[in-house]
């Protein structure tokens, strides 16, 4: 059993955390991800990251737990995971030719100790034709991704630009900020 636990079953987050070469386990958090009425996307991401970490930490005392969540923000309105092909196409059509902010929050906690960080990435979508959107969604099936794309795959072709401080944040786990938090918690991270 490792000292570190990722409060997620996301293969994307697991792959990112493996880059740090620290032993860790994964646990599924039991958290309702429904946005609160009027909740801003940045607040939603921060609340859910903390809730996931706290819920898993309560079941695993003595272990450091990483919680992370991401919310897409189109002019103040949150865009969640589409869940269906129709919703994914509709989201991408809505974002076509526009800038969308992605708030990625992380929380590292253990037995009452807690460290938090947030990252903001702006994605500028190029103008997308309906046929392009349909081809992309059929090819990559981004139904479990906030914003309906996978930037680490074919989704990169949908953009004009990505503006951020941490290239891993858009995938779902900002490793630069996480390394800082892990060092604060006493982990030896190069």
User: Which residues are known catalytic residues?
Assistant: 69
Residue 72 CA to residue 48 CA, distance in Å, equals 13
- Quick check: helix, strand or coil at residue 72? strand
Residue 99 CA to residue 125 CA, distance in Å, equals 6
Residue 48 CA to residue 166 CA, distance in Å, equals 20
Strands 77-79, 64-74: pairing is: antiparallel
Residue 33 CA to residue 36 CA, distance in Å, equals 9
Residue 124 CA to residue 130 CA, distance in Å, equals 17
């Amino acid at each position: 059993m490792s000292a570190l636990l990722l409060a997620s079953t996301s293969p994307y987050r697991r792959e990112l955390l493996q880059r740090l070469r620290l032993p860790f386990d994964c646990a599924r958090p039991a958290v309702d991800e429904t946005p609160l009425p009027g909740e801003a996307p940045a607040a939603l991401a921060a609340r859910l990251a903390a809730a996931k970490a706290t819920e898993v930490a309560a079941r695993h005392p003595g272990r450091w737990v990483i919680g992370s969540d991401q919310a897409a923000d189109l002019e103040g309105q949150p865009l969640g995971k589409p869940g269906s092909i129709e919703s994914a196409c509709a989201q991408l059509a809505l974002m076509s030719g526009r800038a969308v902010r992605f708030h990625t929050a992380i929380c590292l906690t253990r037995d009452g100790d807690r460290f938090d960080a947030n990252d903001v990435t702006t994605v500028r979508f190029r103008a997308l034709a309906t046929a392009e959107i349909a081809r992309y969604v059929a090819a990559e099936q981004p139904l479990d991704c906030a914003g309906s794309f996978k930037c680490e795959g074919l989704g990169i072709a949908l953009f004009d630009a990505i503006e951020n401080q941490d290239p891993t944040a858009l995938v779902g786990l900002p490793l630069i900020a996480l390394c800082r938090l892990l060092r604060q918690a006493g982990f030896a991270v190069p």
